[in-house]
């Protein structure tokens, strides 16, 4: 079996990238700062800014919460409510799916790396686990990229959301900006796609058999008892004494203890 410890350096880096990307995707899912609305009527929304996420909308109000504007007033919504636009509806499902896929990819990558560093009877198992982890990371990155890009497009178009009156939110803002969640989501998607690409690029090292065995004195042994034979790119050296020449126990028998695998 070839020495695999140095064959998965890029895949170890891919595991680090996927870990950071997976954490950022979880943070992105929970943040409310997906879309930042700038509102002119500050009667209720005193700060003039409201945040629209994929699970809730929040703003500061000295009427609804407190007069010192230290606590936000939030209203949660779900996909079962008809006013939820399609970009938010899709984001709720895909971001949760991305977290599940990213976790599955991490488990697959950890198992593959364990087999690399601790050994396995079959090297093909390592390739399969790396392929599985890479495919899952690519899928997770795509699941993050779609809702992030769709909501960013809605921000650029200044799209409206027709909230119920109980939300105390206007249907459309004067203007809106992309929030921190979109930036984190883009970074998360890039890291996951990069990680998946690196995992899929793993290749097993090539194997060669290097065998050392005694050779006869007549084949060109040196006076000190060493004989050298070269075949291709490999060189073999064997030591023999005058006593070993002609010994039926030594000649023509390969020593399995000298057999080894290495890289080409």
CA distance 223 to 188: 67
pLDDT at 156: 94
pLDDT at 152: 95
- Distances 16 to 103, 124, 229 between C-alpha atoms, Å: 13, 23, 46
User: How many Cβ atoms from other residues are within 10 Å of residue 242's Cβ?
Assistant: 9
CA distance 138 to 60: 38
Residue 54 token pair: 């994929």
Residue 262 token pair: 């290495």
What phi, psi does 235 have (nearest 5°)? -125, 135
**Spans of all domains in the chain:** 9-200, 208-262
pLDDT at 178: 94
Low-confidence ranges of the chain (pLDDT < 50): 1, 208-213, 218-248, 250-264
CA distance 100 to 163: 30
For domain 9-200, the CATH class is mainly alpha
Q: Smallest Cα–Cα separation from 77: which of 89, 63, 94, 61? A: 89
pLDDT at 71: 74
CA distance 61 to 48: 9
CA distance 55 to 41: 24
Residue 258 token pair: 């000298």
pLDDT at 207: 60
pLDDT at 261: 46
pTM of the full structure: 0.72
Q: Smallest Cα–Cα separation from 102: which of 171, 165, 17? A: 17
Helices (H) and strands (E) in the chain, counts: 4, 9
- Residues 95 and 18: beta-carbon distance below 8 Å: no
């Amino acid at each position: 079996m070839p020495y695999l410890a140095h064959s998965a350096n890029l895949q170890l880096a891919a595991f680090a990238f996927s870990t950071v990307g997976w954490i950022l995707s979880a943070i992105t899912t929970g943040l409310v700062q997906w879309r930042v609305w700038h509102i002119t009527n500050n009667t209720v929304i005193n700060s003039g800014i409201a945040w629209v996420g994929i699970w809730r909308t929040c703003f500061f109000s000295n009427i609804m919460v407190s007069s010192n504007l230290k606590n936000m007033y939030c209203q949660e919504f779900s996909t079962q409510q008809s006013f939820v636009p399609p970009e938010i509806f899709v984001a709720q499902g895909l971001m949760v799916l991305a977290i599940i896929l990213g976790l599955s990819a991490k488990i697959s990558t950890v198992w593959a790396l364990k087999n690399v560093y601790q050994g396995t009877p079959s090297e093909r198992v390592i390739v399969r686990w790396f392929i599985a982890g890479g495919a899952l990371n690519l899928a997770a990155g795509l699941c993050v990229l779609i809702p992030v890009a769709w909501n960013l497009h809605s921000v650029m178009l200044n799209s409206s959301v027709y909230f119920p009156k109980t939300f105390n939110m206007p249907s459309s803002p004067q203007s809106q900006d992309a929030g921190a969640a979109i930036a984190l989501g883009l970074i998360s998607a890039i890291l996951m796609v990069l990680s998946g690409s690196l995992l899929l690029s793993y290749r097993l090292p090539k194997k060669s058999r290097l065998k050392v065995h005694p050779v006869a004195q007549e084949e060109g042994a040196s006076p000190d008892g060493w004989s050298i034979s070269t075949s291709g790119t490999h060189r073999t050296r064997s030591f023999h004494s005058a006593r070993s020449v002609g010994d039926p126990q030594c000649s023509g028998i390969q020593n399995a203890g000298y057999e080894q695998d290495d890289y080409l």
